[in-house]
Amino acid sequence: MTVYRHIVVGVSAVVWRVPPVIWPLAADRSLTACLTRLQTHLRHSHQPPECLVVRRAREPARGQWALPGGHLQAQESVLQAVARELVEEVHLQSPDYVLGPVRCVTDLFRPESATHYVLLTATACARGDAVLQPGDDADAVQWMCLEAMQRDDAQLVPGCYAAARDIWTRVEQGDGG
């Protein structure tokens, strides 16, 4: 039995790509409005949902694709940490995205470092034409559809596809992502 000496709380976001033509006006820019418009658009266009991923430039998991995220800092709320990480990792600014609540909790165990990671994943929507560029610990950023995530799961950090799939399933069930 492995004894975990460290517990690290991390944050991430499943950020769904919303085409600019259906991006809600400022008066109706809630996560629910964005997800409703996106779901309707995807159903009619027969396109799969796409979420934002970054290729990690540092260990752990260097070279693997992950949801944007990082560590929770002292005196920072989960959503403040997610917003900070979106700026640091992909230069996504708040007018171009809407952030919602934590919808997924993932436990990752790293016996080699005796560390238990607890990852809190929030849901967000972003304008599909937002300018994105890799930031502090990412060397690439792209939109990836769920099918590609499933197919390329070995190139993703553990739990990445499962979190995106689980959150999209909740969106389809009307649970607001």
Q: What is the mean pLDDT of the chain?
A: 91
- Other Cβ atoms within 10 Å of 22 Cβ, number: 15
- pLDDT, residue 176, reads 65
Residue 79: pLDDT band (50, 70, 90) is very high
Which residues does 51 contact at the CB level (< 8 Å), separation at least 6?
Answer: 14, 15, 16, 17, 67, 143, 144, 146, 149, 164
Strand-pair partners of 71: 10
Cα distances from 34 to residues 23, 24, 57, 168, in angstroms, run: 7, 6, 31, 13
Ordered by where they begin, the domains of the chain are 6-172 (3.90.79.10)
d(CA 132, CA 118): 27
- 86-132 pLDDT tens trace: 999 999 998 899 999 999 898 888 888 888 889 999 999 999 999 99
Residue 175 pLDDT > 80, yes or no?
Answer: no
